[in-house]
Chains A and B, each alone.
Chain A
């Protein structure tokens, strides 16, 4: 009932939008849904508007932008895909690529389409690989690139006599124990955020030799490797006690705030510099290092310490002016805009041509770029990916809740939760 009501409502409101997204006689107008990248929706509007004005000057195509919060974006995209009404150009989180690709509502970027926006070789290969299922033309092109890194508080490290950031989990635990005292904790995690949990499950899983889907796209959640990987992550709180139990209820970036306010010494996050700045933390107060690995690689473990994170730009098939929409995609992925926008958002360019620009030579950007180039892998590009994030991420949220209340988190308990999640995938 809810589903029907929401879809009906969505199609009614989408009809209302329709009038201004079409290509009228003279002036062309596009509607663009941008994801929220900066500290606020207003910040994003102020960042994007001058660029859109520039685009209108160059091409005569007007772009109406709406910045959509992440919590609404997927539902709004679905409603637009269902009704065939809505914006022309949209941003999508790259982990949704294969899921959204399966809807068939987006213009596929085959070779000809890619050529019209500058060619396949312009884009960072890893980022393009995370834009759709393997063997199919990408459903979008990458716009902003991100990766996970280890952020650490320089002063706390110096005070504890730690001279270099940890490169192995064993070192991280040791350092974390030194830094956990009083109101201060070694590491902060976002325990009640399913997406965040699932991203770590993926990277840890790779390091422990696990896969969340087999080659045919079937879920393989409860393998011993995945159980060990999830246990390692939860144990930071449950066994090593370097994470504040309160983090088990964090879902609104409180862990970022804790790090920025000196309540935690380390944080695993993607391109967090901007968020720290918004919280008033100076750029020279923290250091950035690649996410650690186990000291001795478990059997089958891969040298992967981040997912290929990023935001893509896609064109709806229902657009009335595909050429204008592609022109806009080309503009947004042009050298000048890539430097301008990624510099503002603290993310990395998705095109290879501007990687050496001065805007991306800060310590944080250099580490992220190196991770993306050498040790990042895309999340499983299967249509069921969004289900994986919810089910496994939620299972981990429950495990964190157990750990926080002092319940032992055994391998058996983890395996049960993961098996249960896997069974629900089949439905």
Chain B
């Protein structure tokens, strides 16, 4: 970051013949920091301060009794964390359940989104008539406002009047109308919406990454007799590694924290089979008015995500160095 900002500044004085008067200016070495200042201020305001406040709240016994003057709420120490992480207690048990649901959901969603994105990207790499139309079509779910898009899915999933059951029964694929928004199917219903929403982003990134793969490499591979799978394995995937590294991490973080999709689909109380952790925390803090506990859950979640991210970056970077 710093090097890129300084480069043009250093270059400026050497451009000849501008004939302007020299104004008094900051020492060149300080300028980058000055330019970074607004970003740092915003970062503090938008991320760091709420985070610190959140951690502080997680140490308080904060319910509706203290909400009006919450900074004066009694100090709870680690009690909130104890209840949150005690997997034999009712709070921890449910949290652990929704943690596993979220892990499963994230694994499937990220995996499928990436696969769809990869194949769509590869097939749309070569020009053919109708390619731009297909591209636009593929990107539509990504461009739609979340709320409107997911609300439409709730109509599709209705048991009696929904499009999905209408299709299933008229084509004879199901004799009985299954439930999609309650019970075991709700997990798969949620997953479909999630993949539908996030694969276009994977597609977009992979398409951009493929632009950087020189066509000569494919030509050379073809001459050597490499088929589709061989080219994918030995040319495309290695060349996409930097893109994939970021893409999968971003998809993982977004999906793990996804709140909008389950909230619009199920409202404030999701079925237990699809009780994602974000909804669970929302319910713990806002509906049952236990803000200290909700904050403790959030902090625990944040720590988990940080840990996973750090491990992931460590592993992927090491692999790249070895490669």
Please state if A390 and B287 are interface contacts (CB–CB under 8 Å).
yes
Nearest residue in A to B70 (C-beta to C-beta)?
A82
Nearest residue in A to B278 (C-beta to C-beta)?
A2
Select the residue from B57, B64, B290, B301 with max chain A CB neighbours within 10 A. Answer: B64
Determine the interface band of chain A, counting residues with CB < 8 A from chain B.
Answer: 35 or more
Known: A84-B68, A424-B94. A404 touches B179 (CB 8 A): yes
Known: A1-B295, A390-B269, A405-B179. A8 touches B50 (CB 8 A): yes
Please state if A1 and B54 are interface contacts (CB–CB under 8 Å).
yes
Chain B hits for A400, CB < 8 A? 182
**Please, how many angstroms separate the alpha-carbon atoms of A6 and B278 in the complex?**
14
Does A251 touch B at the CB level, under 8 Å?
Answer: yes
Known: A1-B51, A4-B295. A102 touches B64 (CB 8 A): yes
8 A Cβ contacts from B290-323 to A = 290-291, 293-295, 298-299, 301-302
**Please, how many angstroms separate the alpha-carbon atoms of A82 and B69 in the complex?**
7
Chain B hits for A356, CB < 8 A? none
Does B288 touch A at the CB level, under 8 Å?
Answer: yes
Please state if A99 and B64 are interface contacts (CB–CB under 8 Å).
yes
Select the residue from B268, B289, B302 with max chain A CB neighbours within 10 A. Answer: B289
Known: A8-B49, A387-B289. A249 touches B181 (CB 8 A): yes
8 A Cβ contacts from B37-67 to A = 49-51, 53-54, 57, 63-65, 67
Does B109 touch A at the CB level, under 8 Å?
Answer: no
Contact of A2 among B94, B267, B272, B294 (CB under 8 A): B294
Q: Main secondary structure on chain A at its contact with chain B? A: helix
8 A Cβ contacts from A1-18 to B = 1-8
**Please, how many angstroms separate the alpha-carbon atoms of A397 and B289 in the complex?**
20
Please state if A394 and B68 are interface contacts (CB–CB under 8 Å).
no
Does A75 touch B at the CB level, under 8 Å?
Answer: yes
Contact with B along A204-236 (1 / 0, CB 8 A): 000000000000000000000000000000000
Does B83 touch A at the CB level, under 8 Å?
Answer: yes
Please state if B64 and A103 are interface contacts (CB–CB under 8 Å).
yes
Please state if B54 and A401 are interface contacts (CB–CB under 8 Å).
no
Please state if A1 and B269 are interface contacts (CB–CB under 8 Å).
no
Please state if A4 and B90 are interface contacts (CB–CB under 8 Å).
no
Nearest residue in B to A401 (C-beta to C-beta)?
B182
Does B194 touch A at the CB level, under 8 Å?
Answer: no
Contact of A3 among B57, B68, B181, B267 (CB under 8 A): B57
Contact of B179 among A7, A8, A249, A420 (CB under 8 A): A249
Please state if B294 and A3 are interface contacts (CB–CB under 8 Å).
yes
Contact of B64 among A383, A390, A393, A423 (CB under 8 A): A383
Nearest residue in A to B269 (C-beta to C-beta)?
A394
> Smallest distance from the beta carbon of B211 to chain A beta carbons, Å?
36
Does B271 touch A at the CB level, under 8 Å?
Answer: yes
Chain A hits for B272, CB < 8 A? 398
**Total A-B Cβ pairs within 8 A:** 128
Known: A82-B70, A386-B289. A4 touches B51 (CB 8 A): yes
Nearest residue in B to A317 (C-beta to C-beta)?
B68
**Please, how many angstroms separate the alpha-carbon atoms of A6 and B285 in the complex?**
11
Please state if A8 and B294 are interface contacts (CB–CB under 8 Å).
no
Nearest residue in B to A191 (C-beta to C-beta)?
B182
**Please, how many angstroms separate the alpha-carbon atoms of A424 and B65 in the complex?**
18
> Smallest distance from the beta carbon of A254 to chain B beta carbons, Å?
9
Contact of B53 among A4, A246, A401 (CB under 8 A): A4
Does B281 touch A at the CB level, under 8 Å?
Answer: yes
Please state if A249 and B159 are interface contacts (CB–CB under 8 Å).
yes
8 A Cβ contacts from A369-384 to B = 383
Contact of A248 among B49, B57, B182, B293 (CB under 8 A): B182
> Smallest distance from the beta carbon of A22 to chain B beta carbons, Å?
19
Please state if A2 and B183 are interface contacts (CB–CB under 8 Å).
no
Please state if A103 and B57 are interface contacts (CB–CB under 8 Å).
no
Please state if B64 and A401 are interface contacts (CB–CB under 8 Å).
no
Known: A4-B57, A81-B68, A249-B181. A424 touches B269 (CB 8 A): no
Contact with B along A296-323 (1 / 0, CB 8 A): 0000000000000000000000000000
Chain B hits for A74, CB < 8 A? 286
Nearest residue in B to A4 (C-beta to C-beta)?
B54
Does B135 touch A at the CB level, under 8 Å?
Answer: no
Known: A2-B298, A248-B182, A427-B91. A105 touches B288 (CB 8 A): no
**Please, how many angstroms separate the alpha-carbon atoms of A426 and B83 in the complex?**
10
Chain A hits for B301, CB < 8 A? 1
Please state if B67 and A427 are interface contacts (CB–CB under 8 Å).
no
Please state if B91 and A390 are interface contacts (CB–CB under 8 Å).
no
Does B105 touch A at the CB level, under 8 Å?
Answer: no
Chain A hits for B231, CB < 8 A? none
Please state if A424 and B289 are interface contacts (CB–CB under 8 Å).
no
Does B282 touch A at the CB level, under 8 Å?
Answer: yes
Does B160 touch A at the CB level, under 8 Å?
Answer: yes
Nearest residue in B to A426 (C-beta to C-beta)?
B90
**Please, how many angstroms separate the alpha-carbon atoms of A246 and B64 in the complex?**
36
Please state if B183 and A405 are interface contacts (CB–CB under 8 Å).
yes
Chain B hits for A390, CB < 8 A? 268-269, 283, 287-288
Does B244 touch A at the CB level, under 8 Å?
Answer: no
Does A367 touch B at the CB level, under 8 Å?
Answer: no
Contact of B90 among A7, A104, A401, A424 (CB under 8 A): A424
**Please, how many angstroms separate the alpha-carbon atoms of A100 and B64 in the complex?**
7
**Please, how many angstroms separate the alpha-carbon atoms of A387 and B290 in the complex?**
9
Select the residue from A3, A82, A249 with max chain B CB neighbours within 10 A. Answer: A3
Nearest residue in A to B273 (C-beta to C-beta)?
A401
Does A192 touch B at the CB level, under 8 Å?
Answer: yes
Nearest residue in A to B283 (C-beta to C-beta)?
A390
Does A391 touch B at the CB level, under 8 Å?
Answer: yes
Nearest residue in A to B91 (C-beta to C-beta)?
A427
Does B236 touch A at the CB level, under 8 Å?
Answer: no
Chain A hits for B94, CB < 8 A? 424
Residue positions of A touching B, CB distance < 8 A: 1-8, 74-75, 78, 81-82, 84, 99-100, 102-105, 192, 194, 244-246, 248-249, 251, 383, 386-387, 390-391, 393-394, 397-398, 400-402, 404-405, 420, 423-424, 426-427
Can you pick out 20 interface pairs between chain A and chain B where the beta carbons lie within 8 Å of each other? A1-B295, A2-B285, A2-B298, A3-B285, A3-B298, A4-B51, A4-B57, A5-B50, A7-B53, A75-B286, A78-B286, A82-B68, A102-B65, A103-B65, A244-B160, A387-B288, A394-B269, A397-B269, A401-B183, A405-B179
